[in-house]
Amino acid sequence: MDTNKVELYIYDLSKGMAAAFSPMLIGKRIQGIWHTSIVVYNREYFFGSKGVESCNPGTTALERPLRVEVIGETQVPYSVFIDYLNGLSETTYAYNSLLLEERRKTLKEKLIRKEKKREKKRKKILESGGELPPELKEDFAMADTDTVNGQSQLPSDEAFALEEEEERREEEAKKKAREPPIVYKDIIDVKVEFDALVALIDGKLNPEEQRATEELQQYMIGDEGSWALSDGFLDFVGRLLNDTQLSVDVRVKTLNVLAMAALKDDVILVLHQDRKDHILMNYAFEIDRLSIQEQEAIALFMANMFENLSSSEWLLYISEWTYNNQQTSNIRVTTKVAVHSLLSDSPILQDRGAAIIHNLACKEVFDDVAVELTMALLQYFNSKPPEEQLYRCMKALAKFVQVSTQEVPQLIQMIGPDPRSFKGVSDRVDSLVDQIALKLR
């Protein structure tokens, strides 16, 4: 059989810039932003925007590689190699490319949110006649260069990699500094719930859905990573949630299992699969039309999503899509679930709604979200809530008067009740009431 040499081409996408500028940008030296390719059969193969791509060796836009290493030999026939590669290009690598693009969209949304906050700060300083600090002047200049014909641009590969590294460092710092979210870790026995779900759907699944059930078992019971879930896993979830021939209990059990999955640190990889069809959020959007058991399960799922920074950020995504002729987004659905739960007649839903609003208040929300949640809180206060829920809601309100310094205090004074009417409930509530009262003067 013919033997062919296999080489690894190593490129630095930054062409030395990462090593030169990373200490100044992120406080840590990055030797390079690496890209690799495989050269075999006198052809260079690499992962590109369209999946697996190829060219004559050394003729990519990156020109000559920084380093070439011989990693072995192969006797696999060329025809077999090409068939295998084509299969990967249409499945695994095409999916990875989609994930990368979705990751870029996520990054862009975060950059937009950051710039909105900075612009708000700049506006306040200028309106008060103050002088912009150097960092805000620089931010403004950078914002200009990142816009072409009025449209925000996605960052370059180099900027994307550096921003990801900075984001990773920020996330670690946030984990250490953040206020602990209110989640429900011990409320569901996931094995009992999963076994009950399997019993309910036994004999009602096709072979592919049966495999998805086994994958879910590996992920939740076998404690495997999210890699155990195939690309079509969310289609299986969509069937369980939307097939009217299945019982309500199926939907409740499915949501309860997902609520426990939300506590896993790699659940974000599953959520990113839902950026196209929005199976989970479209279902949650209908919370006011569902049974009380489903509503409680949705609220549990959403509260637990705040366990990890990445999944809690996912709840705040602002990218819109159309559902039932209405424009919506992740943050709109999250807000709707929170408000509906808090103002329901179910003590369980009220408890979980208060948890979601508390968790949202610990994040960076826009003025309009703070205002909508404040209106729900004020309405809820008229129901004489128990101390625990009152504390969560007062804590959220204390955050919102800082986020929206004009509208939220005005709402409190116009609508009521006055937070000071709850003085004496507990020391911790009193402390929060005092903080809010300072903003009402």
Residue 99 lies in a domain: no
What's the pLDDT score for residue 81? 82
Distance in angstroms (rounded) separating the CA atoms of residues 419 and 434: 9
Residue 274 lies in a domain: no
| Same domain for 117 and 70 | no
What's the pLDDT score for residue 279? 95
What's the pLDDT score for residue 13? 87
| Whether pLDDT at 104 is above 90 | no
Alpha helices (H) in 128-206, listed in sequence order? 134-145, 157-177, 190-201
Residue 334 lies in a domain: no
432 close to 398: Cβ distance less than 8 angstroms? yes
Distance in angstroms (rounded) separating the CA atoms of residues 263 and 312: 11
Nearest-CA neighbor of 140 among 125, 157, 158, 129?
125
316 close to 330: Cβ distance less than 8 angstroms? yes
Residue 134 lies in a domain: yes
Residue 105 lies in a domain: no
| Same domain for 84 and 127 | no
Count how many domains the chain has.
2
Residue 239 lies in a domain: no
Which is more confidently placed, 275 or 304? 304
Please provide the distance, in angstroms rounded to a whole number, between the alpha carbons at the two ends of the chain. 86
Which is more confidently placed, 337 or 270? 337
| Same domain for 89 and 27 | yes
Residue 127 lies in a domain: yes
- The proportion of the chain whose per-residue pLDDT surpasses 90, expressed as a percent, equals 49
What's the pLDDT score for residue 92? 52
Tokens 């190593």, located at residue: 10
Q: What is the CATH number of the domain that holds 24?
A: 3.90.1720.30
| pLDDT tens-digit readout, 1-14 | 678 999 999 999 88
Q: Which of 59, 94, 129 is the last residue of a domain?
A: 94
Q: Domain range holding 119?
A: 113-172
DSSP per residue over 278-315, as a string?
A: -HHHHHHHTGGGS-HHHHHHHHHHHHHGGGSHHHHHHH
What's the pLDDT score for residue 147? 43
Token pair listed for 360? 């949202």
Mean pLDDT of the chain: 84
| pLDDT tens-digit readout, 28-48 | 788 888 889 999 998 999 877
| Whether pLDDT at 96 is above 70 | no
Q: Are strands 34-40 and 4-12 parallel, antiparallel or unpaired?
A: antiparallel
| Whether pLDDT at 326 is above 80 | yes
Angle, CA of 158, 162 and 166, to the nearest 5°: 165
| Same domain for 74 and 124 | no
Residue 425 lies in a domain: no
